[in-house]
Structure 1
Amino acid sequence: MELRELASFLAVVEEGRFARAAERLFLSPPAVTGHVARLERELGVPLLERSPLRLTEAGERFVPHARAALAAVAAAAGSVADLGSGDAEPVLRVGVMGHGSAELTPAIIRAFRQARPLTRLHIEPLDFTEHVSALLQRKVDVAFVRPAVDDDRVAVDVLTTEPRIVIVPASSPLGDADSARLSDILDLPFLTLPPTTPRAFRDYLYFNSARGGAGPRRGPDQARNPHEALASVAAGRGTGSGLASFARFYSWPGVRYLPIVDAPWDNSVLTSRRDDPSAEVRAFRTLAAALARDLGPVLARGPGAVREVVRGAPSGLDSLEP
């Protein structure tokens, strides 16, 4: 059993199509098909039904083990990565889902670079499926995500609290509206998320609390990131949602962003592994809290208000313990 076989299998599961999995892995579709077929022969059971594409019972059981195997290899590689370079510089890997915590994300990163110039900072883009897994699998050390994570293994620092918006095609019946209510959107077809997307993110995207926990009608396209989501909405093939700041960061022809006047506000957060002993993680969290401390719902007042908070925030970490 080879790592590339596990990677191909999980990519097919997450993407829902062999062709998309191949594109993601920079392989040809026949190569990905061959990897999955060899894995099934080695295990002696089919993992996927091909038409329609879905996991078999054996596949459902195998997915968490495949993920754990790849995560273990990644963790092992990460634990010795610094030794080959011959230096002892501290490293901090920062995950960012979409636009993170709006204007706060680049402000926090810039301030951290100034305060800890000897720390090697790596920025990792995260997709919707990595709401929790990137942190727990040690792909990143801290992560800007939304909404808040409900997991005992994860520490959560709320950075922004914002109104919710819905993203609709400009050609839709709501395209000329100035705002919407939950009752206007709950029956619309929403974007389909990959099956490995955490429930907390599904509930957030679909406003499932307003549906009594039930999911929405699904559009034909699967979206793993904002780019895919906006392309699908612009084509009239689904509905999306986000925090109000999303509209400032993603200008996209063919879509409309409408505030939902009766939806509860929600948070963007900084997450880290609970009780992580890293001094770099502690410093980053402390600086993030300092920049966000007086922000509250300020994003509702626009980016100018955020700039005022950032200008008045401390530029360094002189008061922090090393």
Structure 2
Amino acid sequence: MDLRLLSSFLAVAEEGHFGRAAARLFLSPPAVTQHVRRLETDLGTPLFHRNPVSLTPAGERLAVHARMLLAAANAALEDVTQAAEAARAVTRPLRVGIMGHGSAELTPAAINAYRRARPEVPVEIRQLDYTEHVSALVGDRVDVAFVRPAPDDERIVSDVLTTEQRIVVVPARSPLADARHTGASLSDVADLPFFQLPEHTPRVFTEYLYFGGPPRRGTPTALTPQEVLTGVVTGGAAGSGIKSFARYYGWPGAVFVPVLDAPWESTHLAVRADDANPEIRIFRALTQALARNPVSRPAN
């Protein structure tokens, strides 16, 4: 049975008037009249007395069933709508931000573990530059972020994932390049021409880059590891990082030198402190578990 016909019939029954029923349904009076006549034809009996409009005995019985049928149809529609909204919420992508190479081999291991655990949730990978150490999360551009060092912002919480020796990257022609195997000291790297960072780069990241000292002026400006290495091999600039940087960015003409007396630095998984998204909790738990049981990685 066409539910539109039942809706028109019930509106006339409740309003006691074809015109008012039409206005209530945002239909024309002839359309409502046609709906009622089609029902009467299908059922083979009058449903209304005309002039004045009132229900016949058959119409009274149909009104009872019509209310139940329309209520059930509305409930079914609401249930399906809610299920669809829930499905859309589940399939919202989890946006993973990665600064540089993230936490080395742990980063792809965590992403792949999450994909196996939650295959129905799309994962979007977004590369972060050095100025997005905090802003990508605060600006809701990513849901989780592999960064270093720990963000200094009360809106963000982070978990330590890996801890590594510090290194500097210099051109092969630099006098410091000879220390690639023996290592250098903080005093050896104090005057290196480290690349510049934009003024809006978080302070904690500039302190990390410059080993806790004041920002130095150098050329060129760099926002990504690729830009750092380009500046190193073409402009004689210098960069700093952690030991695994050398495994991921082995550019010809760039030499990686351990800084023996620099404090080791940790990589972090950062999330918004107030984010209740259950998918973030799942990703965070999987990553923490992997960090406690490190994935194998090549020696260097």
TM normalised by structure 2 equals: 0.68
| Residues 1-322 of structure 1: pairs in structure 2 closer than 5 A | 87-88=88-89, 89-177=91-179, 178=181, 179-208=183-212, 211=213, 214-216=214-216, 218-295=217-294, 303-304=297-298
RMSD, matched Cα? 1.9
Quick one: distance in 2 between partners of 1:259 and 1:304? 17
Runs of 4+ in 1 over 4 A off after TM superposition: none
Check conservation: 1:171, 1:236, Cα contact below 8 A: no
Check conservation: 1:221, 1:232, Cα contact below 8 A: yes
Check conservation: 1:166, 1:260, Cα contact below 8 A: yes
Decide whether aligned partners of structure 1 residues 90 and 236 sit closer, same or farther in structure 2, where only a CA change above 3 A counts.
Answer: closer
Identity in percent:
56
Quick one: distance in 2 between partners of 1:87 and 1:294? 34
Q: Deviations over 1:72-104 (max 9, x none)?
A: xxxxxxxxxxx99x9442321000011000000
Give the counterpart letter for 1:198 in structure 2.
Answer: P
Check conservation: 1:90, 1:118, Cα contact below 8 A: no
What is the aligned partner in structure 1 of residue 37 from structure 2?
A: none
| 3-state secondary structure, aligned to 1:148 | coil
Q: Which runs of no fewer than 5 residues in structure 2 stay unpaired?
A: 1-83
Q: Which runs of no fewer than 5 residues in structure 1 stay unpaired?
A: 1-82, 306-322
| 3-state secondary structure, aligned to 2:163 | strand
* Count of residue pairs brought into register by the alignment: 212
| 3-state secondary structure, aligned to 1:131 | helix
Give the counterpart letter for 2:244 in structure 1.
Answer: S
Check conservation: 2:220, 2:235, Cα contact below 8 A: no
Give the counterpart letter for 1:268 in structure 2.
Answer: T
Give the counterpart letter for 1:201 in structure 2.
Answer: F
Check conservation: 2:95, 2:143, Cα contact below 8 A: yes
Q: Deviations over 1:23-54 (max 9, x none)?
A: xxxxxxxxxxxxxxxxxxxxxxxxxxxxxxxx
Quick one: distance in 1 between partners of 2:279 and 2:92? 8
CA positional deviation for 1:120:
1.3
Check conservation: 1:160, 1:269, Cα contact below 8 A: yes
Decide whether aligned partners of structure 1 residues 230 and 242 sit closer, same or farther in structure 2, where only a CA change above 3 A counts.
Answer: same
| 3-state secondary structure, aligned to 1:119 | coil
TM normalised by structure 1 equals: 0.63
What is the aligned partner in structure 2 of residue 79 from structure 1?
A: none
Give the counterpart letter for 1:262 in structure 2.
Answer: D
Give the counterpart letter for 2:274 in structure 1.
Answer: D
Greater Cα radius of gyration, structure 1 or 2 = 2
CA positional deviation for 1:237:
2.9
Q: Deviations over 1:201-248 (max 9, x none)?
A: 10001112xx3xx223x2221001000000001124311000100000
